[in-house]
Amino acid sequence: MTTPGTSGVVLILITLLLLFGPGALVCLAARLPLWSAVAAAPLVTYGLVAILGPVVAGFGWDWSPAWLGAATVVGVLAVTATRLAASRVAVRHGAALTDDPLQGPALRSRLPGDLAMVGGIAVGAVIGALAALRAMGGLDRVNQHWDAIFHANAVRFILETGNADPSALRAINDYEATSFFYPNTYHVLAATVGQLTDASIPALLNSQFLLLAGIAGLGLCVLLRRYGAGIGLAASVPVVLATFAAFPNDLLDWGPLLPYGTGLALVPAFLVVVTDLVRDRNPAGFLVVAGGAVGLLGVHPGAAFTALLFSVALFALRWRGEIRLIRPDAVVLAVVGVLAVALGYRYVVGSLTARTAAVGDWPVIGTPGAVLGQLLTLNHGKLYPQYWLVLLMILGLFRLRKLRELYWFLSAGVAFCVLFVMAASYEGTVVAVLTGPWWNDRWRLAAVVAIVMAVLAAHGIVTAAELVTAGIRRFSPRAAQWQRSLAVAVVAVLSLFGLLSEGFYIDANAERMSVAYVQSRTVSAAEDAAMQALVDLVQPGQRVMNDPLDGSAMMYALYNITPMFGHVVQPDSIPNMGPDQQRLLTSFKCLDTDSDIQDLVRRYDIGYVFLGDDFVVPRFTRVSGLEDLAIVDSLTPVYAEDGVSIYQVQLPASAGQGPTLDGCSPTG
């Protein structure tokens, strides 16, 4: 069995400390309920990073762990001052801070129940982490899929430059863009962990992913308790959630969608603090919710839109029975909105005015009925459904009325089912607009649906346990043993589910995710060896001309060698790139005779050329500007092993020397 090793355990512990520590201090200072404070801690930590990162960069200062500490101190002081000021005002006017007549079930702290919740959260976290770790084969393994290149290079960039401004990431692959914005909060926190450790970039990314099932399970557990769920349901849902393939497991293979998956894991905690605020009217809660909203937006806008849709469902059901709550709730939401815009203006303005990425438009994969069937039977992108989870969801439907306090949550899940079907089965402007926040990507939408389905499946666990307990009571009708026997039955049903699913689907999910690590198109062993050789060749400040289609961009994340292209480029998007980048990709082979190319080599200080042995996507081929380099006089071969080549650039004294290749002109 794959284990993280001592250094890996230390890395995970430091990641946990940075994720939970700052946010927990702020939440406790805000006097949130204990469980809410723990659940919201990572959300608030990301909020602190999102708020302060651009400010630090704006003053020209380098980001460091000290700034996260400073943000924590400021956050604690801000919520404390707000709470004390509001308390004084309330005392002066004789008003209570809480005026919601529909506060709902409180999070009462009782040791047996708390221990059960802790146990369920811990088991779910371990299940999720084990599946991911088995898939990776080690924390230092490189995820070979498309998006991993950008995320890894973004973390490297922040580590090396200390620049935490979202627009600064243009340096990776959009350095000619006049307007660029990419939410980088996920990457800044990963870089902060890197500043405290000697972990590799892949290890920083992989260690964060290991925690997602636990973070999401924690938030969902507390959210269910806040809406009156019993201990059995609350303790079961983290375990059940960790077994779903769609979240978070598929997000490691598809993409990988690391920031999106992280943001999605934070959504339940955001709904917890929103619920706390509208019920308790804690003045400091306004800052917590606003900061959490900025955190979601800074991690991934798609997660923020997900939280928004769930929030709409929450308030729609809340107002349906109590119209008189609309006005006071509207005031609360308005204040939170103003605070969120003020604290996260950099992300709001950047998202509206700057170029971020191409709009997603994935092809249709089936008819509406077919794709809906795949989603509901957990057969999306798989050969076989997750039968035992489907059975649990069916059991949960039998007593759905017991979840009436959570109808808003389930209703939002239905809405995401509709969006999934639209993304997978339809084309058109309306579909593009409605699914745009999720990049028209069915995998992102399926992940949201899985979180909702986990509640239904966990309810199935409790339903089965209640049926078992009811049968037992016929033979032993002593009411005093009811709760104890129900708890035992829940554990028994969970254990049976684990047995029937062959270990909570750990191996099945690990095999599914391992596709991202077992193939080596992006960075093969031969390419890795060549990159190590390149370390000894490249001089400080020099760049390396590379093919963005072969995965060589990973040289920056792995060995701190700066490539000309720091991410994969779709061949059909090359015409949309900057003029220098276009020229290099189409005409670099004209180095002998093209004075414009020679000028670009001098301007960017290109000292070497790196050609990998394979391509990120099988259909890709070598870009035209890097073909036939072996006959270019200005390039000297210095490395050729196992299909990987490295050339040293030696410019001629003047343009016009050397052979003229196809597509090149003697004058440039």
State mean pLDDT over 317-340: 93
What the block records as the tokens of 569 is 């480029």
State mean pLDDT over 149-153: 97
Label residue 440 left, alpha or beta by phi (over 0 means left) and psi (-120 to 50 means alpha).
left
Q: What own/partner pairs with CB < 8 Å and gap ≥ 24 does 108-116 have?
A: 109/34, 109/35, 112/231, 113/231, 116/231, 116/232, 116/234, 116/235, 116/487
Q: What is the pLDDT of residues 39-89, one digit of tens each?
A: 999 999 999 999 999 999 999 999 999 999 999 999 999 999 999 998 888
Identity of residue 497:
F
What number of helices (H) and strands (E) belong to the chain? 27, 4
CA distance 210 to 195: 20
Q: Partners of 308 in the beta sheet?
A: none
Q: Is the pLDDT of residue 325 over 50?
A: yes
**By mean pLDDT, which of 26-30, 382-386, 582-586, 634-638 is the weakest?**
382-386
Q: Read off the DSSP letter of residue 362.
A: P
State mean pLDDT over 380-404: 93
Q: What is the pLDDT of residues 176-216, one digit of tens each?
A: 988 889 999 999 999 999 999 999 999 999 999 999 999 99
Largest CA distance in the chain: 98
CA distance 254 to 260: 11
Query: Residue with structure tokens 């119209």?
Result: 323
CA distance 114 to 235: 9
Helix (H, G, I), strand (E, B) or coil at 179: coil
Output the DSSP codes for 134-156: HHHTSTTPPP-SHHHHHHHHHHH
Q: What is the pLDDT of residues 234-279, one digit of tens each?
A: 999 999 999 999 999 999 999 899 999 999 999 999 999 999 999 9
Which residue segments constitute the domains of the chain, with CATH numbers given?
5-94+131-225+246-358 (no CATH), 525-649 (3.40.50)
State CA 162 to chain mean position distance: 21
